Amino acid sequence: MSLNHRYDFVLLFDVKDGNPNGDPDAGNLPRLDAETGHGLVTDVCLKRKVRNYVEICRPESDQPETFSKLDDSAPLRNHIYVKEKAILNRTHAKAYEGIGKADLLKGDDKKRKGGDAVDEARRWMCKNFFDVRTFGAVMSLGVNCGQVRGPVQLTFARSVSPVVALEHSITRMAVATEAEAEKQQGDNRTMGRKFTIPYGLYRAHGFVSAHLAKQTGFGEDDLKLLWESLVNMFDHDRSAARGEMSTRGLYIFKHEGELGDAPAHALFDLVQVRQNDLSMPARGFDDFTVTAPSAGPLTAFPRVTLERIAS
């Protein structure tokens, strides 16, 4: 079922005694806005968690029979394109096999392959891969499946209040090699570092375009799966490094029209998050107050309806 409404949404999530998104260029320290001290989580990080959730809850085998053809009656599939250990050009080759034009891939390996069948290959990728028809992808590599601009876009998440990154020394009661054991002279302890944020409440904004959804085939079922993923993704992404992370609120603004009936920034301003006591550092969700309109049509924008989830 095609998408006939524009959506904008606010996502609130928090972290306690963990690192929500380490920066590899800073020794894996939690990402920070250096000028304000607010924490940051990239859009790429959030999309990764959505992909991981879909891969868990809607598992698809990579066997040929689990891929759909371009036939309009064939079901959409929920394979994941960008996943661990994926070789993207091999995935692109499956697209040409799926449309029956694998012969186009033969020839000089240095040339981009696909020819006039790129549009068909792109449609096949959208039909079979949830993250391609949701977030889009650049697939114009050696085996060319074109580019897709996804209907769902996310901003960086930013913490509501400044956060502090703590550094902890940790000890491992073992060494990796015999050489290390000799160097330690019988004391097999090795030292390491771990970085955490005591507490941070983060806010991200998202957008769903009905116009772009029609181009990729993103439909109502995909939208429901997206909302489900955003609410539950942290429950299936536990690790010692990330501490406790939870979705604390998902505020979905549904427009009557495909092009929208209110500016996104005006809708986002209706969801206010404030720290209760600025003289004390926040250490839990109860240290904040979230105010938002009641669910249903908005008074200021009658053609926009608010749905609240997980608040």
Q: How far apart are CA 140 and CA 257, in angstroms?
A: 33
Average pLDDT, the chain: 93
**Chain segment 59-95, per-residue pLDDT in tens:** 999 898 999 999 888 899 999 999 988 999 999 999 9
**Chain segment 212-255, per-residue pLDDT in tens:** 999 999 999 999 999 999 999 999 999 999 999 999 999 999 99
Q: How far is CA 102 from CA 89, 92, 99, 105, 129, in A?
A: 13, 10, 8, 6, 19
pTM higher than the cut 0.85: yes
Amino acid residing at 209: S
**Chain segment 97-148, per-residue pLDDT in tens:** 999 998 888 866 655 666 779 999 999 999 999 999 999 999 998 899 999 9
pLDDT at 288: 98
How do the domains of the chain map onto residue ranges?
1-42+156-164+198-311, 45-150, 165-196
Q: How far apart are CA 244 and CA 237, in angstroms?
A: 10
Q: Are strands 166-172 and 157-162 parallel, antiparallel or unpaired?
A: unpaired
Q: Considering only CA atoms, which of 153, 146, 158 is closest in space to residue 118? A: 146
